[in-house]
Amino acid sequence: MDSQQLQTILKEDYGLDGDIKHLVGYENANYRLTSDEGLFVVKVFLNNPQELAFVGVLSELESWEHADLIPQVRVTLNGQQIIKRADHLIVVLTWLSGRFYKDFDISPSFAGNFGRILGRLDKAMAKVNKIDLALLNRPWDLANYQEAAALSVNISSPLRRLLVDYFFAQVDAISADQLSGLRRGLIHHDANDWNVLTDGEQVLGLIDFGDTAYTWQVAEIAVAGAYAAMSSSDPLNLVKELVHGYNSEFPLQEEEVEVLYYLIALRCCVSVCYSSSATSLGQDDYVAVCQESMFELLAKWIQINPRHAHNAFRDACAMRPITTPDQGEMREAREGGISSSLSLSYAEPIAMSGGGLQFMYAYDGQTYLDLVNNICHVGHCSPKVIQALSRQAAKLNTNTRYLYPSLNRLSKEILKSLPDNIERIFFVNSGSAASDLALRMARQFTGRETVAALQSGYHGNTSSAIAVSSYKYNGQGGGGRPKQTIEIPLPSEGTKDFFFPSHNPPAAIIAETVVGCGGQVVLPEGWLNRLFDQVHEMGGLCISDEIQTGFGRIGENMWSFQQQDLDSDIVILGKPMGNGHPIAAVACTAEVAANFENGMEFFSSFGGNPVSCEVGLAVLETMDEYDLQQNALETGRYFKGRLEQLADKFPVIYDVRGSGLFLGIELREPSTGHPATELAKILIEEMKSRQVLMSTDGPDNNVIKIKPPMCINRDDVKAVVHHLSVCIPMVQRKLQIEG
């Protein structure tokens, strides 16, 4: 319908004469009519009665005490609210003035006022009874989020897509009972920053009832909250004020307050899914307008501890805080049953309640950026992993004595990623079980007992693994090097290559390519190859331990031994393989496997079970789908570069090493060259107080290890580098004062 036609209709049917101007809008066409009688909004719809259900709602709200804040339906000369002309439906509404709140830095007091108006509106909406609720079924309805979730594939940035999928999975994880039990009501459902008019302090108008839906009552505040949060550097506080205002007029229920944190994220997710799919189709999209801010809010929102948000919202509704287990009691109870040989991190240990991708949430409401956990490789509570785990756990869990496809699929995927000579795989439950099996295979293959391993290496907690872990047998409580172990000193400048004695040829050498527990020691090019060559020449086997370094962590390669082109006969995998679920593996050549097949059954009760296999596959899919190895490469490179800049500034940083997201910062006293062990220890405590988790390692505990979930981004890196640049001089000063 062209403007001319529309003007004629407005004149003939409504008696309104004036100029019309097209306005931006989503789905239907909107015009502003400037007439002798004042300003009006003219809405033109394609012939779809569903879109016009709001007209009935508006006319029922005419008697609301604040009806001046919402559009009134202007009827035709013969009293009709909606007319049909040339296959279009037309509605004329009064024009409300004011500025969109998107143009303001909104204040907490505005948020409170806004919440109160929404609460009052919803009280009035609850009395609307003459409309067909079935017509108010909307794609944007938060309760229909599954439709939007399927569109997340259109989000082009892999890390953003992961963030969105994470929140969708979190909503999926809310019990179906809890979601279906949420109170329903008629709500405006789109109180966004383009639909609210204000002078900066008071609400002057609330427009666009086109998304009015009969859905979760709390979705009203979730939608409004998402936009309020988006416009603030302190999003939680603004939402809290909004909730406070709303609750004072329309009391929220405990169950609603409990899910609000997730529903606010959900609204952002639904919105970015629709806008990204519109963008991917090249549509001229009004919805994409706030896409960027929505992504930014999601990145901020995941940094808010959900328990903390829950309590803030409860506080806003004058509800008591949720109970938190007492830290002292938890510790005491632990000491009652758990051996003290299991350590706790930090002087004051953290009681952890949750995790979200690269973040961890403590019971006390703190959020930590996790730079320690290389086990939750693809992120804490990674969406595909939790989905795969729970789906398969609901179907079948058994063992490798039956046929099931996931075992074959996982074997195939892992073997595909390894060099061609590695053709067989055995699944176990821990890195320790994997190194034990690898050592057993090598001993059986060669009929020898002696095993060579690197100084400062660690390969697991079994007797056989401890015996080849100088990190343990030479460390506190260790009994020294066992007779059957050859310990190879780590190379340092000027040292000669190690040569094996010919009288005691080893069954195997076991080594990491970057010695993790040794303090992220990167071995010089060719050094390990020469050792592997010697072992091969003596008829022994070479075992690469990829338990810490594998699965793309080093960025350039899937496996770190590939970085040095090592000829391995056995590769052991673990930690990241199940993202925290206990699955590990031994992969080896066909020859080694054949030798092991001597008639004795190999059986692991849990190794390779269907749940573990689905989890393992989900980890690989997540890496692939969200390009996490590439992220490890790029973000890792950026991280290392920023740390090298810090090293230029602070001489106490003796070395920055590693690759991808497997980095180490070695700290030494600049004057003496001694390991700065105390500084490292205090530094990680200081970083903890700034919500960054780091750990130290190496024989002198003077190397800060960095091996975070593979989804950290540049903003996380910037924050870490900033905190380090503040903490390093602070700790140095503190140590100087203490003498």
Q: Which residue is nearest to ligand PMP (CB)?
A: 431
Q: Give the phi and the psi of residue 193 in degrees, each rounded to 5.
A: -75, -5
**What's the CA gap between 727 and 724, in Å, rounded?**
5
CB of residue 527 vs ligand PMP: minimum separation in angstroms?
Answer: 18
Pick the binder of ligand PMP from 232, 430, 609, 635 (CB under 6 A).
430
Of 155-163, 268-276, 457-465, 588-596: span binding ligand PMP (CB under 6 A): 457-465
120 binds ligand PMP (CB under 6 A): no
Count CB-CB contacts under 10 A for residue 28: 16
Pick the binder of ligand PMP from 212, 217, 305, 432 (CB under 6 A).
432
Residue 517 structure tokens:
């527990």
**What's the CA gap between 569 and 422, in Å, rounded?**
7
Q: What SS3 string covers 579-631? A: ECECCEEEEEEHHHHHHHCCCCCCCCCCCCCHHHHHHHHHHHHHHHHCCHHHH
607 binds ligand PMP (CB under 6 A): no
Count CB-CB contacts under 10 A for residue 219: 28
DSSP-assigned letter for residue 577: G
Residue 515 structure tokens:
């010695």
- E strand intervals along 150-193: 184-187
547 binds ligand PMP (CB under 6 A): yes
What DSSP assignment string belongs to 198-214?
ESSSSEEEE---TT-EE
148 binds ligand PMP (CB under 6 A): no
677 binds ligand PMP (CB under 6 A): no
Of 34-42, 224-232, 456-464, 497-505: span binding ligand PMP (CB under 6 A): 456-464
Nearer to ligand PMP, 301 or 662 (CB): 662
574 binds ligand PMP (CB under 6 A): yes
Q: What angle do CA 117, 118, 121 make, to 5 degrees?
A: 85
Nearer to ligand PMP, 155 or 511 (CB): 511
Nearer to ligand PMP, 216 or 458 (CB): 458
578 binds ligand PMP (CB under 6 A): no
Residue type, 362: A
**What's the CA gap between 593 and 445, in Å, rounded?**
9
460 binds ligand PMP (CB under 6 A): yes
Nearer to ligand PMP, 51 or 545 (CB): 545
Pick the binder of ligand PMP from 548, 557, 562, 702 (CB under 6 A).
548
CB-based contact 425:415 (threshold 8 Å): yes
CB-based contact 696:704 (threshold 8 Å): yes
Buried b (16+ CB within 10 A) or exposed e, 393-407: eeeeeeebeeebebb
697 binds ligand PMP (CB under 6 A): no
CB of residue 100 vs ligand PMP: minimum separation in angstroms?
Answer: 55
Nearer to ligand PMP, 386 or 454 (CB): 454
Alpha carbon distance, N-terminus to C-terminus of the chain: 83
Nearer to ligand PMP, 71 or 574 (CB): 574
CA atoms within 13 A on the CB side of 598: 7
512 binds ligand PMP (CB under 6 A): yes
545 binds ligand PMP (CB under 6 A): yes
Nearer to ligand PMP, 431 or 610 (CB): 431
CB of residue 456 vs ligand PMP: minimum separation in angstroms?
Answer: 11
Nearer to ligand PMP, 547 or 618 (CB): 547
Taking CB atoms within 8 Å and a gap of at least 24, the contacts of 342-347 are: 345/372, 345/693, 345/695, 346/684, 346/685, 346/688, 347/685
314 binds ligand PMP (CB under 6 A): no
Query: How many residues interact with ligand PMP (rule CB under 6 A)?
Result: 16
Residues 6+ apart with CB under 8 A from 55: 73, 81, 82, 91
**What's the CA gap between 246 and 321, in Å, rounded?**
19
CB of residue 460 vs ligand PMP: minimum separation in angstroms?
Answer: 4
Nearer to ligand PMP, 574 or 675 (CB): 574
Closest CA relative to residue 396, chosen from 658, 121, 610, 716: 610
Nearer to ligand PMP, 115 or 460 (CB): 460
579 binds ligand PMP (CB under 6 A): no
CB of residue 622 vs ligand PMP: minimum separation in angstroms?
Answer: 20
CB of residue 373 vs ligand PMP: minimum separation in angstroms?
Answer: 12
459 binds ligand PMP (CB under 6 A): yes
Interface with ligand PMP (CB under 6 A):
430-432, 435, 458-461, 512, 516, 545, 547-548, 574-575, 584
